[in-house]
Amino acid sequence: MATIAAALLRLATDRVVRSELPAIHEHERKFREATGRGDPWAQESLLVNLYSHLHTAGSLYSPSERMLLSRRDGYSCHAGGLSPLIKAGPFITPDSVVVDLGAGNGLQGLLLQCISPHRKTLQVELSSEMIRTGRLFQEALGIGADRVEWIHDDIVNVSIEAADIVYLYRPARTSLNGREFYRAIARKLASVPKPLMVFSIADCLGQFLDERFSLFFTDGHLTCFSKR
């Protein structure tokens, strides 16, 4: 958690990030005050507030992006929370490739790079504005260009065969269009020619995965699968 807090504070005090999110200094100030008081309950709550505010940065879609999101019955950017990052961290090795499907501004993937530095994070996102913001976050955190690849595309168009770990937060509703979307993702995951782990927030994917995937953790918020 200390690594996450340090990364979030680094973002919150970065001049460029502050220009994108003028109110971020208030979240930073309140968190530091709670830390100074030695109030762990307030500190945890205010850290989540700081994280959530950073997660909103750049949450805009062009008309064509919005049209595709609507056609997919997709959700816009939601914050996955800190606990999934803590759960995923120990499974990431220095040689891992982590793919975030529907990455938003990439905060989750960037924090995973801070917690457990690894070979590559692929950030797949439909919104060009969120990718622009994510690149600012990446620069503020000092994460090298060779360790993060930003992919501006529809999830179903992107190859994930290099993935060791896939992270997603319920990118679409479970309507007819959404179900076809999840089936397409499940086919992509099934085609990965090596062991694979899936960390799914508010899971709608599990019912579409084939028998090679086994559930190894769920807490009602995060659901984790492995394929051997």
If asked whether residues 68 and 124 sit together in one domain, one would say yes
* pLDDT for res 221: 93
Q: pLDDT-derived band of residue 141, with 50, 70 and 90 as boundaries?
A: very high
Structure tokens belonging to residue 146: 């060779």
pLDDT tens-digit readout, 174-205: 877 778 889 999 999 999 999 999 999 999 99
pLDDT tens-digit readout, 35-69: 999 988 999 999 999 999 999 998 888 999 888 88
If asked whether residues 8 and 107 sit together in one domain, one would say no
Structure tokens belonging to residue 122: 């692929």
Question: Which residue, of 55, 74, 91, is where some domain finishes?
Answer: 55
Whether pLDDT at 73 is above 90 = no
Residues 6+ apart with CB under 8 A from 15: none
The side-by-side arrangement of strands in the sheet containing 165-169 is: 148-152, 120-125, 97-101, 165-169, 196-201, 222-227, 213-218
* pLDDT for res 224: 97
Question: Which residue, of 9, 29, 55, is where some domain finishes?
Answer: 55
- Counting the structural domains of the chain, the total is 2
Note whether 169 and 74 are within 8 A (CB).
no
β-bridge mates for residue 216, sequence order: none
If asked whether residues 110 and 205 sit together in one domain, one would say yes
Note whether 35 and 2 are within 8 A (CB).
no
Segment 1-14 shows an average pLDDT of: 95
If asked whether residues 108 and 163 sit together in one domain, one would say yes
Instruction: Compute the half-sphere exposure of residue 194: CA atoms within 13 Å on the CB side of its CA.
Output: 9
If asked whether residues 210 and 132 sit together in one domain, one would say yes
If asked whether residues 50 and 65 sit together in one domain, one would say no
If asked whether residues 27 and 46 sit together in one domain, one would say yes
If asked whether residues 99 and 179 sit together in one domain, one would say yes
pLDDT tens-digit readout, 122-133: 999 999 999 999
**Which range of residues forms the domain containing residue 26?**
1-55
CA end-to-end span of the chain: 30
If asked whether residues 39 and 98 sit together in one domain, one would say no
If asked whether residues 162 and 103 sit together in one domain, one would say yes
* pLDDT for res 70: 84
If asked whether residues 8 and 71 sit together in one domain, one would say no
If asked whether residues 135 and 197 sit together in one domain, one would say yes
* pLDDT for res 72: 74
Return the CATH number at 196.
3.40.50.150
Segment 78-100 shows an average pLDDT of: 93
